[in-house]
Amino acid sequence: MSPSLVLIQLLSGLAHAMVLFLIASGLSLIFGVTRIVNFAHGSFYMLAAYLTYTLAATLPLGAAAFYVAVLLAAASVGLTGLGVEVTLLRRVYRAPELYQLLLTFALVLVVADLVKLCWGSENLTGPAAPGLAGSVAIAGQLFPTYDLALIALGPLVAAGLWWLFYRTRWGVVIRAATQDREMVAVLGVDQARLFTSVFALGSFLAGLGGALQVPRQALTNVMDASIITEAFVVVVVGGMGSLPGALLAAVLIGVIDAFGVLVLPRASLVMTFVVMAVVLIVRPWGLLGGPPAPQRTAAAAVVTAGAVRLPRRWVAAVLAVLIAAPPLLPTFHVWVLVEILAFALFAASLQLLMGTGGMVSFGHAATFGLGAYGAALLVTWTKAPMLLAFAAAPLAAAAGAALYGYFCVRLSSIYFAMLTLAFAQIAFAIVHQWYDVTGGDNGLLGIWPAAWLAGPLAYYYLALAACGGGVALLARIGRAPFGLTLRAARDHARRAETVGINIRLHQWLAFVVAGFFGGLAGGAFVFLKGSVFPNLLAVPMSVEPLVMVLLGGVQAPAGAAVGAAIYKLLDTVATKYTEYWQLVLGAVLILLVLVFPRGVLGVLGDRRA
């Protein structure tokens, strides 16, 4: 690589880094103060980009139109953020923090379809920035003038934000609230207004990033998903809530991206996640972040009573229906039921981590995918009998979970979540790129059950035994001394340690157990579909069980199963009747969160008590 090429790549990495910094600083700000993991941040970014596209074309302002459009788009997205906070998020602040995450996920679905409705699915090419449209020669190579302008703009925005946070009272209050919200309220600051202003500013920054991206890349319907993961990586690598950290990490990730494409095009997907994994293993709170202040909630001081236990009669009734009904159902419905069973177990295995263990994983797809691929690879390459491959699925996933879980359980909260995501992404990249073995994009086909199990009813009962049995076992584990120990570690780590509990060991074991059952679910799924593709390990597959657990209720595996059933049924019905199923699903999810702010079983359980 010639020196001039290196320089050009470096510059183009820096230009990307500046956009990343804008988005990541907004995300970090919102998380720092409100503790909301805002999945919708990428949607705001996308929305602003499309708005800029339309405004720049319609405003009758000549050369100024583009620049006015950028500011208008960012401002309206900031206002959208404000509206979302006031009308939706504010209603669920008293619910466990993760329910706000569920709400922002629903928004992702809604915005995605709204963008599709308004602007279509075709890629759009935005206008060039007037006055910055050409290129300049740098070391004999042409480099876009616009990117140079971005590189100059980045430090200006950073300085502006620094001034805001360190030189104004509002900024001081924000930084105080990042450490201890309750104390800020005690000192007379209205949290609701603080949250609203933070959400508006954070959304504005996302919008500005999206608007400025317009001259650089084509607008697509999936630009929200690609930016949100990257923004989370930047925030976590830099250290949550650290502005200089976000800047440093944005530069690091931007430059690595730029060179990755050049040096290792096949591995470019995964480079940033490898970097994140390494940073988190070496520095558990990111490059410039510090350990978060311990959470101060009343519940944190008291280990809550036993998990929600469903009345035996209910369980027996549901089981009776599950055994008796399928022979009466059309075949298609039986297959849907099998899929629900697999996802019920998948979600329940995540519930052990999230609910009982208090460890929120953003990468649980890895277990499902490892199980599915474990079985599929055995069948494809060794012609193993189906039942053997089926049994190998959970073992493969448990082995994988044991390996990466060893690193993950060393971290906590969002850092734990992001490291699980990193490992899931690494697994995804391996499966996706290793054509000779996994078939890459083409997947592995012809993974069918043994002949005597291939009929819908026979396979259904196998899935019921495996998945239903798995959920029951998980429920048993949650109530066993092992589950109680996990809960103690979740509610008060220091006290649990004081009474002699080896927290990391127990969390690691929980990770392996969750991996085992996640893999079993993956095994049940692969023989249902007869094929396996890399998307089983992709981000949406990690988000789905998360949504299911929250939807059903995080307190018990039964909640996860209920959530899985609701989500899958909604999904099946919505995709059947409308092209805009995301819009429908998102709207229903929003309603469900508002009506059941602690999950369906959580709220019903409270009513009974």
Min dist CB 471 to other proteins, Å, is 27
CB neighbour list of residue 187: distance below 8 Å, 6 or more residues apart: none
Min dist CB 337 to other proteins, Å, is 38
Question: How big is the chain, counted in residues?
Answer: 609
Contact window for other proteins (CB under 8 A) among 65-73, 185-193, 344-352, 382-390:
185-193
Answer for which of 3, 62, 188, 311 binds other proteins (CB under 8 A) is 188
- Interface map 243-282 toward other proteins (x if CB under 8 A): ----------------------------------------
The residue type at 439:
G
By CB under 8 A, is residue 197 in contact with other proteins? no
Contact window for other proteins (CB under 8 A) among 82-90, 166-174, 307-315, 546-554:
166-174
Tokens standing for 564? 């899985």
Q: Which of 198, 338 has the CB closer to other proteins?
A: 198
Q: Which of 283, 492 has the CB closer to other proteins?
A: 492
Min dist CB 190 to other proteins, Å, is 5
What are the beta bridge partners of residue 124? 219
CB neighbour list of residue 235: distance below 8 Å, 6 or more residues apart: 24, 27, 28, 31, 246, 249
Min dist CB 168 to other proteins, Å, is 10
Tokens standing for 503? 């927290």
- The residue among 153, 94, 138 whose CA lies nearest residue 2 is 138
By CB under 8 A, is residue 576 in contact with other proteins? no
Is residue 124 classed as helix, strand or coil in its secondary structure?
strand
Answer for which of 169, 312, 494, 607 binds other proteins (CB under 8 A) is 169
Contact window for other proteins (CB under 8 A) among 127-135, 171-179, 364-372, 469-477:
171-179
Q: Assign 3-state DSSP to the chain and report helix, strand, coil percentages, each to 5.
A: 75, 0, 20
Q: By CB under 8 A, how many residues form the interface with other proteins?
A: 26
Q: Which of 183, 323 has the CB closer to other proteins?
A: 183
Q: Which of 303, 430 has the CB closer to other proteins?
A: 303
Tokens standing for 169? 């009272």
Q: Which of 173, 274 has the CB closer to other proteins?
A: 173
By CB under 8 A, is residue 86 in contact with other proteins? no
Is residue 293 classed as helix, strand or coil in its secondary structure?
coil
Min dist CB 560 to other proteins, Å, is 23
Q: Which of 184, 409 has the CB closer to other proteins?
A: 184
Answer for which of 186, 328, 499, 595 binds other proteins (CB under 8 A) is 186
Min dist CB 77 to other proteins, Å, is 28
By CB under 8 A, is residue 175 in contact with other proteins? yes
Residues 390, 393, 396: CA angle, nearest 5 degrees: 150
CB-facing half-sphere around the CA of 286: CA atoms within 13 A:
30
Min dist CB 187 to other proteins, Å, is 4
Q: What is the torsion angle, in degrees rounded to the nearest 10, for the CA atoms of residue 482, residue 488, residue 491 and residue 494?
A: -130
Q: Which of 182, 441 has the CB closer to other proteins?
A: 182
- The residue among 41, 139, 53 whose CA lies nearest residue 81 is 41
Min dist CB 602 to other proteins, Å, is 14
* DSSP state letters, 436-491: HHH-GGG-EE--PPPGGG-SHHHHHHHHIIIIIHHHHHHHHHHHSHHHHHHHHHHH
Q: Which of residues 490-509 bind other proteins (CB under 8 A)?
A: none
Answer for which of 54, 141, 145, 191 binds other proteins (CB under 8 A) is 191
Do residues 127 and 56 lie in contact, with contact meaning Cβ atoms separated by under 8 Å?
yes
- The residue among 432, 423, 425, 429 whose CA lies nearest residue 511 is 423
Q: Which of 264, 302 has the CB closer to other proteins?
A: 302
Please identify which residue in the block is written with the tokens 């199923």. Answer: 581
CA quadruple 350, 324, 319, 576: dihedral positive or negative?
A: positive
Contact window for other proteins (CB under 8 A) among 176-184, 444-452, 492-500, 557-565:
176-184
Answer for which of 183, 278, 321, 454 binds other proteins (CB under 8 A) is 183
Do residues 238 and 117 lie in contact, with contact meaning Cβ atoms separated by under 8 Å?
no
Q: Which of 118, 293 has the CB closer to other proteins?
A: 293
Neighbours of 187 (CB within 10 A): 10
Answer for which of 128, 173, 322, 458 binds other proteins (CB under 8 A) is 173
Contact window for other proteins (CB under 8 A) among 122-130, 189-197, 265-273, 419-427:
189-197
Answer for which of 2, 117, 139, 182 binds other proteins (CB under 8 A) is 182
Tokens standing for 594? 């508002």
Min dist CB 279 to other proteins, Å, is 21
Say how far apart CA 373 and CA 366 lie, in whole Å. 10
Say how far apart CA 271 and CA 253 lie, in whole Å. 9
Say how far apart CA 462 and CA 372 lie, in whole Å. 16
Tokens standing for 409? 């359980």
Say how far apart CA 269 and CA 349 lie, in whole Å. 28
Min dist CB 305 to other proteins, Å, is 8
Answer for which of 65, 128, 148, 185 binds other proteins (CB under 8 A) is 185
By CB under 8 A, is residue 179 in contact with other proteins? yes
- The residue among 316, 314, 349 whose CA lies nearest residue 564 is 349
Min dist CB 184 to other proteins, Å, is 6
Q: Which of residues 341-400 bind other proteins (CB under 8 A)?
A: none
Answer for which of 102, 184, 463, 496 binds other proteins (CB under 8 A) is 184
Say how far apart CA 508 and CA 493 lie, in whole Å. 14
Instruction: Determine if residue 190 is left, alpha or beta; phi over 0 gives left, psi from -120 to 50 gives alpha, anything else beta.
Output: beta
Min dist CB 185 to other proteins, Å, is 4
C-alpha of 345 from chain center: 19
By CB under 8 A, is residue 172 in contact with other proteins? yes
Answer for which of 187, 320, 323, 387 binds other proteins (CB under 8 A) is 187
Q: Which of residues 277-336 bind other proteins (CB under 8 A)?
A: 290, 293, 297-299, 301-302, 304-305
Say how far apart CA 316 and CA 322 lie, in whole Å. 10
Residues found near other proteins in the complex (CB under 8 A) = 169, 172-173, 175-176, 179-180, 182-191, 290, 293, 297-299, 301-302, 304-305
